[in-house]
Chains A and B, each alone.
Chain A
Amino acid sequence: DAKTTQPTSMDCAEGRAANLPCNHSTISGNEYVYWYRQIHSQGPQYIIHGLKNNETNEMASLIITEDRKSSTLILPHATLRDTAVYYCIVYITSNFGNEKLTFGTGTRLTIIP
């Protein structure tokens, strides 16, 4: 699986959009970009994933550059409950096969009141 690079930590004011970058310059054509977050003392929570196109769901938006070498997770209106460690993972998917996720150290996002 391709390696990802994320900033160690970020702050964002409550109510503002939080933009979390991720570099994955060695991503291959069939690897998806996944985002998970982990709030203190809980298991990781799935946020969103995408292959080429930008994606949006009720939690966040995922913007993937045209060359797919980087992406940005956007939390449109950050709240204090969004304070967590955010993991960007690139991953080859296949039905019924191995689903090993390689987590890095992630970005610690702190929402400031």
Chain B
Amino acid sequence: DAGVTQSPTHLIKTRGQQVTLRCSPISGHKSVSWYQQVLGQGPQFIFQYYEKEERGRGNFPDRFSARQFPNYSSELNVNALLLGDSALYLCASSLRGGGASPLHFGNGTRLTVT
């Protein structure tokens, strides 16, 4: 079975631009979460969606938004990019959210903002 897939794997953007990152969960998983990992730190929670509804939001500005589609795939959008948004963006999926089943992470999208 395919794991969590994310695209693109690498991305370079300029300050002020907008970016869209994509995630396909493991087949059958209905919950998708997004994390940001800055170099040298652990991942930080951005959003969680379950059954297309937002179930959790981390301490990130409104420039960050996300959505989940009927097929449970998800997109993370970041507007007005700042240099500090350079990070590894991780997507994770689970069967039904709530932590009752483990999260399975993709290998992330490496975003560089210049």
Give A contacts to B, CB under 8 Å: 32, 34, 36, 41-46, 49, 87, 91-106
Contacts and interface: CB of A to CB of B under 8 A. Distances in A.
Contacts of B107: 41-43
Contacts of B43: 44, 101, 103
Contact of B50 (A44, A91, A96, A101): A96
Interface residues of B, number: 29
Interface string B84-114: 0000001010101111101111111000000
Nearest to A104: B42
B98 A94 contact: yes
Interface of B: 4, 31, 33, 35, 41-45, 48, 50, 55-56, 58, 90, 92, 94, 96-100, 102-108
Q: Which 5 A-B pairs have the closest CB atoms?
A: A103-B42, A43-B105, A93-B99, A98-B56, A97-B98
Contact of B97 (A42, A97, A106): A97
A96 B104 CA distance: 16
